[in-house]
Protein backbone atom coordinates (compact mmCIF):
# COMPACT_ATOMS: atom_id res chain seq x y z
CA UNK A 1 0.00 0.00 0.00
CA UNK A 2 1.29 3.44 -0.88
CA UNK A 3 1.83 6.07 1.77
CA UNK A 4 -0.77 8.42 0.31
CA UNK A 5 -3.71 6.66 1.96
CA UNK A 6 -1.99 6.53 5.32
CA UNK A 7 -0.91 10.17 5.21
CA UNK A 8 -4.41 11.16 4.22
CA UNK A 9 -5.81 9.23 7.15
CA UNK A 10 -3.62 11.26 9.52
CA UNK A 11 -5.32 14.44 8.39
CA UNK A 12 -8.68 12.84 9.08
CA UNK A 13 -7.81 12.29 12.71
CA UNK A 14 -7.48 15.12 15.20
CA UNK A 15 -6.79 12.27 17.45
CA UNK A 16 -7.40 13.28 21.02
CA UNK A 17 -9.18 16.57 20.52
CA UNK A 18 -12.17 15.69 18.36
CA UNK A 19 -12.76 12.01 17.71
CA UNK A 20 -11.82 10.27 20.94
CA UNK A 21 -12.96 11.61 24.30
CA UNK A 22 -11.87 10.83 27.78
CA UNK A 23 -14.14 9.18 30.35
CA UNK A 24 -13.69 10.76 33.75
CA UNK A 25 -14.56 9.19 37.08
CA UNK A 26 -13.89 9.92 40.74
CA UNK A 27 -11.08 7.56 41.58
CA UNK A 28 -7.93 7.45 43.65
CA UNK A 29 -6.28 5.27 41.06
CA UNK A 30 -3.69 7.49 39.45
CA UNK A 31 -0.67 5.75 37.86
CA UNK A 32 2.72 7.38 38.33
CA UNK A 33 2.92 8.00 34.60
CA UNK A 34 0.71 7.52 31.58
CA UNK A 35 1.09 4.13 29.98
CA UNK A 36 -0.33 2.14 27.09
CA UNK A 37 -2.55 -0.81 28.01
CA UNK A 38 -3.32 -3.38 25.35
CA UNK A 39 -6.07 -6.00 25.64
CA UNK A 40 -6.05 -8.77 23.07
CA UNK A 41 -7.93 -12.05 22.93
CA UNK A 42 -10.58 -14.18 21.34
CA UNK A 43 -13.95 -12.91 20.17
CA UNK A 44 -16.59 -12.40 22.88
CA UNK A 45 -14.13 -12.60 25.77
CA UNK A 46 -15.20 -9.24 27.13
CA UNK A 47 -12.20 -7.27 25.88
CA UNK A 48 -14.19 -4.12 25.18
CA UNK A 49 -15.97 -4.33 28.54
CA UNK A 50 -12.71 -4.48 30.46
CA UNK A 51 -11.07 -1.83 28.28
CA UNK A 52 -13.91 0.60 28.93
CA UNK A 53 -13.80 -0.15 32.65
CA UNK A 54 -10.08 0.52 32.88
CA UNK A 55 -10.27 3.67 30.78
CA UNK A 56 -12.96 5.04 33.08
CA UNK A 57 -11.01 4.19 36.23
CA UNK A 58 -7.76 5.68 34.93
CA UNK A 59 -9.18 8.68 33.08
CA UNK A 60 -7.62 7.19 29.95
CA UNK A 61 -8.79 7.17 26.35
CA UNK A 62 -10.52 3.98 25.23
CA UNK A 63 -10.01 3.02 21.59
CA UNK A 64 -12.08 0.23 20.06
CA UNK A 65 -9.85 -1.04 17.25
CA UNK A 66 -12.44 -3.64 16.29
CA UNK A 67 -14.96 -0.92 15.49
CA UNK A 68 -12.56 0.46 12.90
CA UNK A 69 -12.35 -2.87 11.06
CA UNK A 70 -16.10 -3.33 11.33
CA UNK A 71 -16.71 0.11 9.81
CA UNK A 72 -14.35 -0.66 6.94
CA UNK A 73 -16.18 -3.95 6.40
CA UNK A 74 -19.49 -2.11 6.32
CA UNK A 75 -18.17 0.26 3.66
CA UNK A 76 -16.88 -2.63 1.56
CA UNK A 77 -20.21 -4.46 1.74
CA UNK A 78 -22.28 -1.38 0.97
CA UNK A 79 -20.14 -0.46 -2.01
CA UNK A 80 -19.57 -4.00 -3.28
CA UNK A 81 -15.80 -3.78 -2.88
CA UNK A 82 -13.91 -6.95 -3.75
CA UNK A 83 -11.46 -7.17 -0.85
CA UNK A 84 -9.47 -9.85 -2.66
CA UNK A 85 -8.42 -7.17 -5.16
CA UNK A 86 -5.52 -5.06 -3.92
CA UNK A 87 -6.30 -2.22 -6.33
CA UNK A 88 -9.97 -2.13 -5.33
CA UNK A 89 -9.06 -2.08 -1.63
CA UNK A 90 -6.52 0.72 -2.01
CA UNK A 91 -8.99 2.89 -3.93
CA UNK A 92 -11.74 2.23 -1.39
CA UNK A 93 -9.58 3.05 1.62
CA UNK A 94 -8.86 6.50 0.19
CA UNK A 95 -12.60 7.20 0.37
CA UNK A 96 -13.00 6.08 3.97
CA UNK A 97 -12.97 8.53 6.87
CA UNK A 98 -13.22 7.01 10.34
CA UNK A 99 -14.05 9.07 13.41
CA UNK A 100 -14.91 8.35 17.04
CA UNK A 101 -17.81 10.48 18.26
CA UNK A 102 -18.67 11.04 21.91
CA UNK A 103 -21.97 9.49 23.00
CA UNK A 104 -23.04 11.40 26.09
CA UNK A 105 -25.96 9.05 26.74
CA UNK A 106 -23.84 5.88 26.94
CA UNK A 107 -20.71 7.59 28.22
CA UNK A 108 -18.64 5.91 25.52
CA UNK A 109 -17.61 6.71 21.95
CA UNK A 110 -19.42 5.69 18.77
CA UNK A 111 -17.88 4.76 15.45
CA UNK A 112 -18.61 7.11 12.56
CA UNK A 113 -18.03 6.22 8.92
CA UNK A 114 -17.78 9.17 6.54
CA UNK A 115 -19.86 11.31 8.90
CA UNK A 116 -22.51 8.64 9.63
CA UNK A 117 -22.88 7.12 13.09
CA UNK A 118 -22.68 3.38 12.40
CA UNK A 119 -22.12 2.13 15.94
CA UNK A 120 -25.33 0.07 15.96
CA UNK A 121 -25.04 -1.21 12.38
CA UNK A 122 -21.49 -2.54 12.71
CA UNK A 123 -22.53 -4.85 15.57
CA UNK A 124 -24.82 -6.85 13.28
CA UNK A 125 -24.06 -10.52 12.55
CA UNK A 126 -23.75 -9.71 8.83
CA UNK A 127 -20.69 -7.59 9.65
CA UNK A 128 -19.40 -10.14 12.15
CA UNK A 129 -19.43 -12.81 9.46
CA UNK A 130 -17.11 -10.81 7.18
CA UNK A 131 -14.99 -8.62 9.43
CA UNK A 132 -12.30 -11.24 10.03
CA UNK A 133 -11.83 -11.67 6.29
CA UNK A 134 -11.54 -7.92 5.71
CA UNK A 135 -9.27 -7.43 8.72
CA UNK A 136 -6.90 -10.04 7.29
CA UNK A 137 -6.24 -7.91 4.19
CA UNK A 138 -2.73 -6.42 4.35
CA UNK A 139 -3.74 -2.97 3.07
CA UNK A 140 -6.64 -2.74 5.51
CA UNK A 141 -4.42 -3.56 8.47
CA UNK A 142 -1.79 -1.05 7.41
CA UNK A 143 -4.48 1.61 7.07
CA UNK A 144 -5.92 0.94 10.53
CA UNK A 145 -2.66 0.24 12.38
CA UNK A 146 -1.10 3.53 11.21
CA UNK A 147 -3.99 5.45 12.76
CA UNK A 148 -3.96 3.37 15.95
CA UNK A 149 -0.23 3.94 16.48
CA UNK A 150 -0.64 7.68 15.99
CA UNK A 151 -3.31 7.70 18.69
CA UNK A 152 -0.90 6.16 21.17
CA UNK A 153 1.88 8.71 20.82
CA UNK A 154 0.71 10.60 23.92
CA UNK A 155 0.05 7.35 25.82
CA UNK A 156 -2.74 7.26 28.39
CA UNK A 157 -4.83 4.87 26.28
CA UNK A 158 -6.49 1.48 26.58
CA UNK A 159 -6.92 -0.30 23.25
CA UNK A 160 -8.43 -3.71 22.64
CA UNK A 161 -8.23 -5.94 19.61
CA UNK A 162 -6.41 -8.97 18.17
CA UNK A 163 -2.88 -7.71 17.48
CA UNK A 164 -2.56 -4.64 19.68
CA UNK A 165 0.12 -6.03 21.98
CA UNK A 166 2.01 -7.86 19.23
CA UNK A 167 1.86 -5.48 16.26
CA UNK A 168 0.35 -2.11 17.08
CA UNK A 169 2.09 -1.49 20.43
CA UNK A 170 4.73 -4.19 20.93
CA UNK A 171 6.40 -2.00 23.60
CA UNK A 172 3.24 -1.33 25.63
CA UNK A 173 3.83 -1.21 29.38
CA UNK A 174 0.92 -3.53 30.20
CA UNK A 175 -0.41 -6.25 27.92
CA UNK A 176 -3.42 -8.37 28.80
CA UNK A 177 -4.53 -11.43 26.84
CA UNK A 178 -8.12 -12.42 27.54
CA UNK A 179 -9.66 -15.84 27.11
CA UNK A 180 -12.73 -17.80 28.24
CA UNK A 181 -14.37 -21.17 27.66
CA UNK A 182 -15.90 -21.39 24.19
CA UNK A 183 -19.35 -22.37 25.52
CA UNK A 184 -19.41 -19.30 27.74
CA UNK A 185 -18.27 -17.07 24.89
CA UNK A 186 -21.03 -18.42 22.66
CA UNK A 187 -23.66 -17.73 25.32
CA UNK A 188 -22.39 -14.19 25.82
CA UNK A 189 -22.43 -13.47 22.11
CA UNK A 190 -25.86 -15.04 21.66
CA UNK A 191 -27.32 -12.92 24.46
CA UNK A 192 -25.90 -9.77 22.85
CA UNK A 193 -27.14 -10.56 19.33
CA UNK A 194 -30.54 -11.88 20.42
CA UNK A 195 -31.51 -8.42 21.67
CA UNK A 196 -31.05 -7.10 18.13
CA UNK A 197 -32.24 -10.18 16.24
CA UNK A 198 -34.62 -12.55 18.09
CA UNK A 199 -34.42 -14.96 15.14
CA UNK A 200 -30.75 -15.68 15.67
CA UNK A 201 -29.91 -19.22 16.77
CA UNK A 202 -27.27 -20.52 19.13
CA UNK A 203 -25.89 -22.71 16.33
CA UNK A 204 -25.39 -19.68 14.06
CA UNK A 205 -23.54 -17.82 16.78
CA UNK A 206 -21.32 -20.80 17.57
CA UNK A 207 -20.45 -21.31 13.89
CA UNK A 208 -19.61 -17.61 13.47
CA UNK A 209 -17.44 -17.59 16.58
CA UNK A 210 -15.49 -20.66 15.48
CA UNK A 211 -15.00 -19.22 12.00
CA UNK A 212 -13.71 -15.91 13.37
CA UNK A 213 -11.37 -17.69 15.78
CA UNK A 214 -9.85 -19.69 12.94
CA UNK A 215 -9.46 -16.75 10.55
CA UNK A 216 -8.09 -14.44 13.27
CA UNK A 217 -5.47 -16.95 14.40
CA UNK A 218 -4.46 -18.21 10.94
CA UNK A 219 -4.30 -15.03 8.85
CA UNK A 220 -0.98 -14.20 7.25
CA UNK A 221 -0.79 -10.62 8.50
CA UNK A 222 -0.77 -9.99 12.27
CA UNK A 223 -2.53 -13.18 13.41
CA UNK A 224 -4.14 -13.35 16.83
CA UNK A 225 -1.61 -14.66 19.31
CA UNK A 226 -0.57 -14.02 22.87
CA UNK A 227 2.39 -11.70 23.24
CA UNK A 228 5.23 -13.29 25.18
CA UNK A 229 5.05 -10.62 27.86
CA UNK A 230 1.25 -10.56 28.11
CA UNK A 231 -0.62 -11.55 31.25
CA UNK A 232 -3.43 -14.04 30.67
CA UNK A 233 -6.85 -13.26 32.11
CA UNK A 234 -9.38 -16.11 31.93
CA UNK A 235 -12.72 -14.54 32.85
CA UNK A 236 -14.87 -17.65 32.30
CA UNK A 237 -16.09 -17.50 35.87
CA UNK A 238 -15.34 -13.92 36.81
CA UNK A 239 -17.80 -11.08 37.23
CA UNK A 240 -17.11 -7.75 35.54
CA UNK A 241 -16.18 -6.29 38.92
CA UNK A 242 -13.77 -9.12 39.66
CA UNK A 243 -11.96 -8.86 36.32
CA UNK A 244 -11.63 -5.11 36.77
CA UNK A 245 -10.10 -5.50 40.23
CA UNK A 246 -7.56 -7.99 38.87
CA UNK A 247 -6.61 -5.68 36.01
CA UNK A 248 -6.36 -2.68 38.32
CA UNK A 249 -3.91 -4.64 40.43
CA UNK A 250 -1.74 -5.26 37.38
CA UNK A 251 -1.82 -1.56 36.52
CA UNK A 252 -0.62 -0.64 40.02
CA UNK A 253 2.22 -3.17 39.70
CA UNK A 254 3.36 -1.75 36.36
CA UNK A 255 6.63 0.21 36.78
* 252 falls within a domain: no
Cα dihedral 72, 47, 128, 217, rounded to 10, equals 90
Asked whether residue 81 is domain-assigned, the answer is yes
The three-state secondary structure class of 23 is: coil
From residue 28, give the alpha-carbon distance in Å to each of 107, 171, 193, 247, 252. 20, 26, 36, 15, 11
- Would you say residue 156 lies in a domain? yes
State residue 51's pLDDT score. Answer: 95
Q: Does the residue 255 lie in any domain?
A: no
Considering its fold, how many domains does the chain have in total? 1
Check: CB of residue 209 under 8 Å from CB of residue 76: no
Residue 80 included in any domain: yes
Q: What is the CA radius of gyration of the chain?
A: 17
Q: Is position 136 within any domain?
A: yes
Q: Are 60 and 157 in contact (CB under 8 A)?
A: yes
Average pLDDT over every residue of 15-43: 64
Kindly state whether residue 251 falls inside one of the protein's structural domains: no
pLDDT confidence tier of residue 30, bands split at 50, 70 and 90: low
Mean pLDDT of all residues in 49-59: 93
Q: Is the pLDDT of residue 219 over 80?
A: yes
Section 53-66 average pLDDT: 92
Per the model's pLDDT, the better-predicted residue between 6 and 130 turns out to be: 130
Question: Which residues fall within 8 angstroms of residue 197, CB to CB, at 6 or more apart?
Answer: 124, 125
Position 6 scores a pLDDT of 42
- Over the stretch 163-212, which tens digit does the pLDDT of each residue have? 999 999 999 999 999 999 999 999 999 998 898 889 999 999 999 999 99
CATH number for the domain harbouring residue 137: 3.40.50.300
pLDDT at 9 over 70: no
Dihedral of the CA atoms 103, 105, 107, 111 (nearest 10)? Answer: -30
Q: Give the domain range for residue 19.
A: 3-23+33-246
Q: Please classify residue 59 by burial: count the beta carbons closer than 10 Å to its beta carbon, then call 0-12 exposed, 13-18 middle and 19+ buried.
A: middle
For position 39, what pLDDT does the model report?
98
CB contact set of 117 (below 8 Å; sequence gap of 6+): 101, 110, 111
- 152 pLDDT above the threshold of 70: yes
- Residues 235/178, Cβ–Cβ less than 8 Å: yes
Amino acid sequence: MGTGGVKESYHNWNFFCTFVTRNYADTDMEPKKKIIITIDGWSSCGKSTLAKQLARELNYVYIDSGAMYRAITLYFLRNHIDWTSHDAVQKALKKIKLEFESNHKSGHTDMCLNGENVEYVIRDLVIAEKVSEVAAVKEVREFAVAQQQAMGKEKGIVMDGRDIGTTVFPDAELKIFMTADEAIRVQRRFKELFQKNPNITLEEVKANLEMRDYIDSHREVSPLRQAQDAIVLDNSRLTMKQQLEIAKGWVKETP
